[in-house]
Every structure is written in C-alpha cells, then in structure tokens.
Amino acid sequence: MAHEAIVIVGGGLAGATAAKTLRAEGYDGALTLLAAEARPPYIRPPLSKEFLLGKADEESVEVVPGDWYRENDVELLLDVRATGLDPGSHSVRLADDRALPYSKLLLAPGAQPRRIPLPGAELEGVMTFRTFQDSLKLRSLLADGGRKVVMVGSGWIGMELAAAARTYGNDVTLLGLEDIPLSAAIGPELGGYFRRVHEEQGVSFRLPASAAAIEGRQGRATAVRTDSGETLPADVVIIAVGVVPDTALAEDAGLELSNGILVDAGLHTSAPDVLAAGDAANALHPYTGEHHRSEHWANALNGGKVAAKSMLGKDAVLDVVPYFYTDQFTVSMEYSGYPSLASGASPVVRGSMEEGSFIAFWLQQDRVVAGMSINQRRVQKPIKALISGRVAVDVGRLTDPGVPLEELLPDDNQP
Ligand SMILES: Cc1cc2nc3c(=O)[nH]c(=O)nc-3n(C[C@H](O)[C@H](O)[C@H](O)COP(=O)(O)OP(=O)(O)OC[C@H]3O[C@@H](n4cnc5c(N)ncnc54)[C@H](O)[C@@H]3O)c2cc1C
C-alpha cells in the first residue's frame, strides 16, 4: 500500500473521523488532511451551547486530541485550502499552487452560513455563526448581559443562540420567516412547544417577519428594521438563516451536484476515487430510496466512518437512522428518524408536554418514521430500532408511558 495516498479535504468532523477510521481499519499509507481553518478539527454543536456558555473548555471540542495526528502519521495541514480538483490526473491543487496527488480523495468541506443581501450587514456587531472564533467572539459580546440581541432566523442555530443569549441575561428578539419557529423541521406542534419554552424564558418573537435593513451609527449596528417597518434596537445582530453546502471544488471538477455533492450510499461521487461526506454530501439513503443531505453531527460522524471504509474498498453504506440533538434552556432534545417521511404527519405524544418530559412520534400507517424525545434518557436506541425495523405498533401502547418501548420490539430486534 506504500504507493497509496489518501487526501481528505476538510478538517471538520467528517474529515477527521474519516482519518481516524482509516488508521483504525489498518490503512498505513500516506494520509493528508487539508484544513482551511487554523485550528485542528473540532465539533461544532458545543459552540452554540456549553462552549458559548463557558461550561466547556477548548479541549472538549476537539475531534481527537491534538497529538493524535502526529502519533498516527497523519499530515494535518492547517490553514491550507484546496482550491482545485482534477479527477483525471488524480490531483488536488492547493492555494499556494502546489498539486497534491491522490489515489483516493474524500471531500468533506462542510457548509457555510447563508448570506442574505441585507443593507447594513457589514456593520460592527453583525455576525453569522459557524466557527470556533465566532463562538469566542459571541461569548465576549453576550457574557456580561444587558445587551439588545436580534436574531435573524428561527431555525436550530437561531433558537440555540437565542437561548444562550437570554441565559446570559440579554434582551433577545427573534425574527423568522415561518409562522412558528422550527416548523419546517419538526412541524407546528413541536415548533410551538419550543416557542413556548423560549417565551417563558423571556425571548420575544416576531413571526413571520424578515429583516429589511440593519441601521447603524459610526460603523456600529444600532437597530434592525423589519419588513413591517418596526425598528428593533440592537447591539448584536446574528444572521442565522441556514447554511449552503460548500460545493466549490466539486463544481470545479465537474462532479454531479444536486443540493450538495451527489453521492451513492457508499458515499462515492460521480468521479472515480472521489468520495464525499458530511454537510456537503447529498447521499442516497437505502431506507427511503431517496437522496438526503443532512446538516447534523451524527451524519458527519457516520459519514466519515463509511467514507473511510469505502475508500479502503470495503462494502460500507450510510444506512443508520438519521439522528440529531439540541439543548435550549432546560430542554434537552434528541430526534431520530426521517424528516421527509414525517413531514405532514401529525405526531402522537407519549408523556406530558406541559411537564416538559415526553416523546413525540411520527407514524406512516402504523410504523414509526421519527421520534423526538424531550428530557428523556435512554429512549433513542429503542426508537431507532422501531424505525429501522419498520415495526408495526399499536398507538395506544406506543403512547402509554407505562409500556417500555422495548416491549414494542420483536424479540429478534431488541436494541
Ligand atoms: C453552531 C453549530 C451548532 C450545531 N449544533 C448541532 C447540534 O446540536 N446537533 C447536531 O446534530 N448538529 C449540530 N450542528 C451541525 C454539525 O456541527 C455539522 O453537521 C457538522 O459540523 C458537519 O461536519 P462536516 O465535517 O461535514 O463540516 P464542517 O464541520 O463544516 O467542517 C468542514 C471543514 O472543512 C473546511 N474546508 C472547506 N473547504 C475546504 C477546502 N477547500 N480546503 C480545506 N478545508 C476546507 C472548512 O473550513 C471546515 O473547517 C451544529 C453546527 C453549528 C455550526
């Protein structure tokens, strides 16, 4: 294998997990990880939660400890961006014009915050949120409390940042295009639940509303003007209106694209020996038979593992039940399932929404296609088993907290 050279573009969770898996699987050839950021690969979920709130340290966000790369003979090139890809000659071009040959290449470039053409977006105090540096900066802006914070965007990141900002004692107003926050992701019933949680903690909503302009004085943001003409005073404005997959290299190389880099279930792109994983990859999911691009932590983790095995010629497919989580105020949420199958279905609830401890299930006929647990421990395994096993359930028993979820599973399908 000495002549082999695997190159990974993207020093995030998917890229670093792929490197780790390659070594764990016994690959001992040359391995280069190109990371456009100056910091070794880190996980992003804590950046809008415990790290932002000062409850987690820098080491806790590393994908692997800093020494791991050297100890495992992985050439980690920090602050180095791949700028071109030629699948024909099997080479990647770097920003300094060097060409790096590969036998297998993994594209794991992640996603970038979506930018919107908003007058005043360049003012000081206005920011998007994606990186470790963004989290440090926002913490310094929020930590003393007493600021007026306007969040543009009512998706997961907007809601998490609103919760953190409020927890620090800031005055928070959240604008979103939906009537109910998160309703595109989890439907109006559960979106309404999250809205109530935020309102009880003092977050204000303007829904549906969009920002028309950010006003400022002497280069600093002072207010957000909404499309209805309302002026919301603001010291800090965060634009959290989703992300776009980073497809620049793939596009440059003529790879097939569709809502990201199109890949099969083994994460192979349309170019030979080029794979893609993580936020940037739109993968065929064997369960639904459809392509699905996920912007969640577990997808990057599992995708990194599958891509590594595929690069080694193993028969690997990304077929785990999609999973994600969020923490907002005292709410700890976990979700497993297929949003595309759940969309449109009305959830059934096990437990008490009022008491903030329950599971919402979405069903197609009598089969669970998604399950979201709020402040419940150790229920995600049986939920995933119900989904992946396509188990027919009795709704009365499913929603009865007295019936352990494991009892709904056939004996040969226990988690
Ligand atoms: C603030 C925040 C909170 C989140 N919270 C949650 C959560 O609670 N639960 C959950 O499930 N998910 C969460 N996510 C989503 C999760 O973090 C992402 O799905 C995950 O980071 C995707 O990993 P990735 O490796 O595909 O991409 P990324 O983490 O984006 O990493 C890609 C890396 O590649 C680099 N790169 C890009 N192009 C190049 C190039 N040409 N050359 C070299 N390097 C390049 C980028 O700079 C970046 O560092 C959160 C995301 C954010 C931003």
CA of 310 to the centre of ligand 1 (A): 21
- Nearest C-alpha to atom 29 of ligand 1 is from which residue? 12
CA of 130 to the centre of ligand 1 (A): 8
- Is domain 5-112+244-311 classified as CATH 3.50.50.60? yes
pLDDT at 248 over 50: yes
Mutate to test the pocket of ligand 1, among 42, 44, 238, 296 (most ligand atoms within 8 A of CB): 44
Assess contact for 366 and 345: CB atoms under 8 A: no
Q: How far is the centre of ligand 1, averaged over its atoms, from the C-alpha of 73 (Å)?
A: 24
306-to-160, 192, 214, 282, 415 alpha-carbon distances in Å: 29, 36, 44, 14, 21
Q: Is the pLDDT of residue 1 over 50?
A: no
Q: Is 297 in the pocket of ligand 1 (CB under 6 A)?
A: yes
Distance between the two ends of the chain, CA-based, in angstroms?
Answer: 38
Q: What is the token pair recorded at 135?
A: 């989290």
The pLDDT score that the predictor gives to residue 86 is 97
DSSP alpha helix (H) spans, 7-109: 13-24, 68-71
Tell me the mean pLDDT in the region 307-329.
97
Question: Ligand 1 centre from 133 Cα, in Å?
Answer: 13
Backbone angles phi, psi at 68, to 5 degrees: -55, -40
Ligand 1 atom at minimum distance from 13 CA: 25
CA of 413 to the centre of ligand 1 (A): 33
Q: Is the pLDDT of residue 406 over 50?
A: yes
CB 303 less than 6 A from any atom of ligand 1:
no
The domain 126-241 is placed in CATH, from the list 3.40.50.11900, 3.50.50.60, 3.30.450.40, 3.30.70.141, at 3.50.50.60
Q: Which atom of ligand 1 is nearest to the CA of 303?
A: 26
**pLDDT, average across residues 92-115:** 96
Decide: 294 in ligand 1 pocket, CB within 6 A. Answer: no
Average pLDDT along the chain = 96
CATH 3.50.50.60 domain position(s) in the chain: 5-112+244-311, 126-241
- Residues of the chain within CATH 3.30.390.30 domain(s) are 330-413
Residue 225: HSE in the Cβ half-sphere, 13 Å Cα cutoff: 10
- CA–CA separation, 411 vs 415, rounded Å? 10
Residue 129 φ/ψ region, left for φ over 0, alpha for ψ in the -120 to 50 degree band, beta for the rest:
beta
Cβ-proximal residues to 411 (8 Å cutoff; 6+ apart), any chain: none
* E strand or H helix at 266: none
pLDDT at 411: 76
Q: Which of ligand 1's atoms lies nearest the C-alpha of 47?
A: 1
Query: Does residue 372 carry a pLDDT above 50?
Result: yes
Atom of ligand 1 nearest to the CA of 135: 1
383 vs 351: CA distance, rounded Å: 15
How far apart are the C-alpha atoms of 21 and 15, rounded to whole Å? Answer: 10
pLDDT tens digits, one per residue of 44-102: 999 999 999 999 999 999 999 999 999 999 999 999 999 999 999 999 999 989 999 99
- The answer regarding whether domain 330-413 maps to CATH 3.30.390.30 reads yes
For residue 4, what pLDDT band results from cuts at 50, 70 and 90? confident
| Reported confidence tier of residue 344, pLDDT bands at 50, 70, 90 | confident
Q: What digits encode the pLDDT tens for the residues 191-224?
A: 999 999 999 999 999 999 999 999 999 999 999 9
Let me know: does 130 contact 44? Beta carbons within 8 Å: yes
DSSP 139-163: HHHHTT---EEEEE--SHHHHHHHH
